[in-house]
Amino acid sequence: MPALRRNIVLGILSVLYAVSSHAGLNDSIPFKYAGHLYFPAVVNDSIRCNLIFDTGGADIFGVDSVFLAQSKWKPSSFAEAKAGGAAGAIRVRIITDSTKVTIGDNESAYTIVPIFSLRDILGCHADGIIGNRDVNTTLFEINFEHGYMRRHHSMPAKIAEYTRIPIVYKNHKILFDATVRIGNTVIRGPFLMDTGSGGTIDFTSEATRKYKLDSIRRKKQITDISNFGIGSKEKEYYTDMQSDLIVIGEDTIKKRVVSYLPQGVGALSKRKYLGIVGNAIWSKYNLLLDIVHQCVYVKRFKKDKAASAEYDYGFRNRTDICDGWIVSSLVRDGDAAKAGMELGDTIVAVNGKPAKAFTWDEEENVDDVPVQILDIKGVDGKAKRVKLEARERW
pLDDT per residue as tens digits for the range 115-169: 999 999 999 999 999 998 878 888 999 999 999 999 898 998 889 999 999 999 9
Identify which of 286, 291, 270 has the alpha carbon closest to the alpha carbon of residue 173.
291
C-alpha–C-alpha distance, residues 350 and 12, integer Å: 35
Write the single-letter amino acid at 170. Answer: K
Q: Of 242, 268, 300, which residue constitutes the final position of a domain? A: 300
> 394 in a domain, yes or no?
no
Q: Of 141, 170, 201, which residue constitutes the final position of a domain? A: 141
Q: Are 122 and 328 in contact (CB under 8 A)?
A: no
Q: Residue 371 is part of a domain; what is its CATH number?
A: 2.30.42.10
Say what the pLDDT of residue 382 is. 97
C-alpha–C-alpha distance, residues 40 and 30, integer Å: 8
Same domain, 245 and 171: yes
Which residues of the chain are under the pLDDT cut of 50?
A: 1-3, 5-7, 12-26
pLDDT per residue as tens digits for the range 194-218: 999 999 999 999 999 999 999 999 9
Same domain, 215 and 295: yes
Say what the pLDDT of residue 10 is. 56
> 305 in a domain, yes or no?
no
C-alpha–C-alpha distance, residues 368 and 215, integer Å: 34
The Cβ-side half-sphere exposure at 168, using a 13 Å CA radius, reads: 12
C-alpha–C-alpha distance, residues 389 and 379, integer Å: 23
Backbone angles phi, psi at 123, to 5 degrees: 100, 180
Same domain, 271 and 338: no
> 308 in a domain, yes or no?
no
Same domain, 58 and 181: no
Cα angle: 192, vertex 304, 193; to 5 degrees: 10
DSSP 331-381: ETT-HHHHTT--TT-EEEEETTEEGGG--HHHHHTGGGSSEEEEEEE-TTS
> 306 in a domain, yes or no?
no
Same domain, 165 and 296: yes
| 268 three-state secondary structure | helix
Say what the pLDDT of residue 15 is. 41
Same domain, 161 and 296: yes
Beta-carbon contacts of 307 under 8 Å, excluding residues fewer than 6 positions away, are 255, 392, 393, 394
Q: Residue 76 is part of a domain; what is its CATH number?
A: 2.40.70.10
Same domain, 334 and 277: no
> 16 in a domain, yes or no?
yes
C-alpha–C-alpha distance, residues 154 and 300, integer Å: 21
Domain residues for the domain of 382 are 313-389
> 148 in a domain, yes or no?
no
Q: Which residues pair with 326 in a beta bridge?
A: 316, 346
Same domain, 268 and 296: yes
Say what the pLDDT of residue 12 is. 40
Same domain, 348 and 274: no
Say what the pLDDT of residue 104 is. 85
Same domain, 242 and 374: no
| 210 three-state secondary structure | helix
Say what the pLDDT of residue 21 is. 36
Q: Are 204 and 268 in contact (CB under 8 A)?
A: yes
Q: How many domains does the chain have?
A: 3
Same domain, 53 and 134: yes
Give the 3-state DSSP-derived string for 22-86, with helices as H, strands as E and coil as C: ECCCCCCEECEECCCEEEEEEECCCEEEEEEECCCCCCCEEEEHHHHHHCCCCCCCEEEEEEEEC
Q: Which residues of 157-181 are buried (b: 16+ CB within 10 A; e: fewer)?
A: eeeeebeebebebeebbbbbbbebb
Stated pTM of the model: 0.92
Same domain, 72 and 204: no
> 147 in a domain, yes or no?
no
Q: Of 112, 141, 170, which residue constitutes the final position of a domain? A: 141
> 23 in a domain, yes or no?
yes
